[in-house]
Amino acid sequence: MSTKEPFCLRWGIMATGKIAYTFVKDLLTNTETRGTLDVCHIVAAVSSASSSEKTQAFINSLNLSCTGYNSYDQLVADSNVDAIYIATPHSHHFQHVMMALQADKHVLCEKPVTVNAHQARILCEEAKKRNLFLMEAMWTRYLPLSIEVLETIRQGRIGEVLRVTADTSFGDEVEKTWGTEHRMLNKNLAGGALLDLGIYSLTWVFQCLYHTLPESQRQPPCMVSAQMTLNYLTGADEATSILVTFPTTTPDNIPEWKSQAIATTNLRVSTDPDGRGTSGPAIRIQGTKGEIQVDGPSFRPERYRVIQCRNENNPTEEHVREYEHHIPDGHRGMYWEADEVARCVRDGKLFSDTLPWNEMIVIMELMDEARRQGGLVYPKSIEDTHY
């Protein structure tokens, strides 16, 4: 056992909404319970921009002992804070990340990192210029289950992956559940299914068909075809389906072998309508020798199976293996991404290898293209790159 003291990252929490609460609750769990001994987390400061009462209520609800502010400017200026976790709506990410970077703070920003790829590129340039760490909080990538699935692909256990389907759909009565003002459907807050949920479907597509390749072989999609259903009240997308083709370099270098993926998201129909996982996997990763099926929800999966092709070459009876990674009740599993941030800051890294800036930007570009094809235009003020 190492006797070295763990590196403790001091967090500043920007916003006190739903996910900020969940993230901090995860952050406060004992790191040793997940086998993390090299890093730890301190919540040093919290700020709501709405009122000091809201900040205080957040601090009380989580029994925190930290500084409270009622302005994000004060939060990012706090010299006891190393990294800012940004949990504001999509529309505000560009401004808030820039605010934190310009105050010389490392940043973990909720997904999607920005409204468009142009904004994301500018933020990466700013982080690079200032030698600061920046990461989109795509927490699903850091779950042990995701890491294991990717390793299974890399080991070649399902052969060459030629098709991935990934769905992240809710099955809500949209008008009642979200209404027109909530960030889910409000275009002024860059709402819509794609940026909120479809990004998870795309995350799985990219994890399997892009990230598992050696860096020098990763290529952006060569074809993207997208359709959207826009909500009749707000114009934000309530359903989006994207067909993506990746140019694959096969072991034999056969250029015709392309991989296809279908990424879907829908607010009105559900991936798992009875909530019991009886509707089949949310993600299917299909290779020439077999398939990996991941049960939903795509953003917080706990179970997957590896199915080997059964034929005359492989007549085995034991061709299906199930794996489970239970996330303790009352937690979301966001501490894995927080551990990654702490390690990267400790090691002086600017980005996480699990979600490099380049990949984050390629995904933003794909979502830009899907919105262009689907006719989803956000207000100029939130697509802007002026800070």
Ligand X SMILES: NC(=O)C1=CN([C@@H]2O[C@H](COP(=O)(O)OP(=O)(O)OC[C@H]3O[C@@H](n4cnc5c(N)ncnc54)[C@H](OP(=O)(O)O)[C@@H]3O)[C@@H](O)[C@H]2O)C=CC1
Ligand Y SMILES: O=C1OC[C@@H](O)[C@H](O)[C@H]1O
Q: Given the rule CB under 6 A, which residues bind ligand X?
A: 15-20, 48-50, 54, 87-90, 92, 110-111, 137, 139, 183, 189, 196, 299
User: Which residues touch 357 (CB under 8 Å, ≥6 apart)?
Assistant: 120, 124, 134, 350, 351
Q: Among candidates 82, 131, 126, 128, which has minimal Cα distance to 108?
A: 82
> In this complex, which beta carbon is closest to ligand Y, that of residue 124 or of residue 190?
190
CA distance 31 to 49: 30
Q: Which of residues 189-228 bind ligand Y (CB under 6 A)?
A: 196
> In this complex, which beta carbon is closest to ligand X, that of residue 153 or of residue 342?
342
How many residues belong to the site for ligand Y (CB under 6 A)? 2
H or E, element range at 283: strand 283-287
Kind of pairing between the strands at 290-294 and 303-308? antiparallel
Least CB distance from residue 116 to ligand Y, whole Å? Answer: 18
Amino acid at 302: E
Selection from ligand Y, ligand X, none that 321 binds (CB < 5 to 8 A by kind) is none
Query: The tokens of 32 are what?
Result: 């040793």
Least CB distance from residue 321 to ligand Y, whole Å? Answer: 28
Least CB distance from residue 299 to ligand X, whole Å? Answer: 6
> In this complex, which beta carbon is closest to ligand Y, that of residue 325 or of residue 349?
325
Q: Go through the chain and tell me how many residues it has.
A: 387
Q: Is 272 in the site for ligand Y (CB under 6 A)?
A: no
Amino acid at 284: R
Selection from ligand X, ligand Y, none that 371 binds (CB < 5 to 8 A by kind) is none
Query: Residue 118, class by beta-carbon neighbours within 10 Å (0-12 exposed, 13-18 middle, 19+ buried)?
Result: middle
CA distance 160 to 163: 9
Least CB distance from residue 339 to ligand X, whole Å? Answer: 15
Least CB distance from residue 76 to ligand X, whole Å? Answer: 13
Q: Which residues of 215-224 are buried (b: 16+ CB within 10 A; e: fewer)?
A: eeebebbeeb
> In this complex, which beta carbon is closest to ligand X, that of residue 89 or of residue 290?
89
**DSSP-based three-state secondary structure for 201:** helix
Q: What is the number of other CB atoms lying within 10 angstroms of the CB of residue 373?
A: 15
* Residue written as token pair 């689907």: 374
> In this complex, which beta carbon is closest to ligand Y, that of residue 72 or of residue 299?
299
Least CB distance from residue 354 to ligand X, whole Å? Answer: 15
Selection from ligand X, ligand Y, none that 88 binds (CB < 5 to 8 A by kind) is ligand X
Q: Is 238 in the site for ligand Y (CB under 6 A)?
A: no
Q: Is 299 in the site for ligand Y (CB under 6 A)?
A: yes
Distance of CA 378 to the CA centre of its chain: 21
Least CB distance from residue 358 to ligand X, whole Å? Answer: 21
Q: 114 in the Ramachandran plot: left (φ > 0), alpha (ψ -120 to 50) or beta?
A: beta
> In this complex, which beta carbon is closest to ligand X, that of residue 18 or of residue 154?
18
> In this complex, which beta carbon is closest to ligand X, that of residue 17 or of residue 356?
17
* Residue written as token pair 């007549």: 315
Selection from ligand Y, ligand X, none that 49 binds (CB < 5 to 8 A by kind) is ligand X
Binding site for ligand Y (CB under 6 A): 196, 299
